[in-house]
Each structure stands twice: as structure tokens, then as C-alpha cells.
Amino acid sequence: MDLNRLRQEIDVIDDKLVALFVQRMQIAAQIGSYKKEHGLPVFAPEREQQKLADVAGKAGSEMADYTKALYVLLMELSRAYQNKLTEESTEVAQ
């Protein structure tokens, strides 16, 4: 096992994750616009619970909790971005 090779593999995956994250946030912005136009709230707790259950199931038992933690953060960031774009002030937890 070569640590440098493994780190290079992580770097390649990280590049893909960043690109997918940006794409996801762009779509979240479109969803935020739709919700604003239709008078819908940004926060949809039922949808988020469904999504968490879905991704946890796809991740398998060993990664379910980690995947849920990742998606809780992703959804928080999406809501914050939607709120920012719809002029509802919010801060991102750091």
C-alpha cells in the first residue's frame, strides 16, 4: 500500500465531489427560486427525512450514519444558500 498513491486517489475523488457539490447547489438555487415564486417554505422537513432514509439505505449499514451526517450538512448548506438567494438572511455553521 502506497500512501501517496492513496492520497492521489482521494484528490481525484475530491475534485469530482467539488464539481458535484457545485452542481447540486446550483440546482438547489433553482429549487429556492421555485419555492419563492410559489410561496413555499425553504425548509421541507418531510422531504429531508425521506432523503436521509434513502441515502442511508443506499450507503449500507456500515456507512449509513456517516452518510446521514454528510447529508444533514448538505441540506443545511442548501437551505442556507436558498435563503440567501431569496433574501431570507441566514448564516452557515462553520
Looking at residue 10, its pLDDT comes to 98
Residue-by-residue DSSP string for 4-70: HHHHHHHHHHHHHHHHHHHHHHHHHHHHHHHHHHTT--S--HHHHHHHHHHHHHHH-TTTHHHHHHH
- The pLDDT tens digits of the residues spanning 62-90 come to 999 999 999 999 999 999 999 998 875 55
- The pLDDT tens digits of the residues spanning 26-68 come to 999 999 999 999 999 999 999 999 999 999 999 999 999 999 9
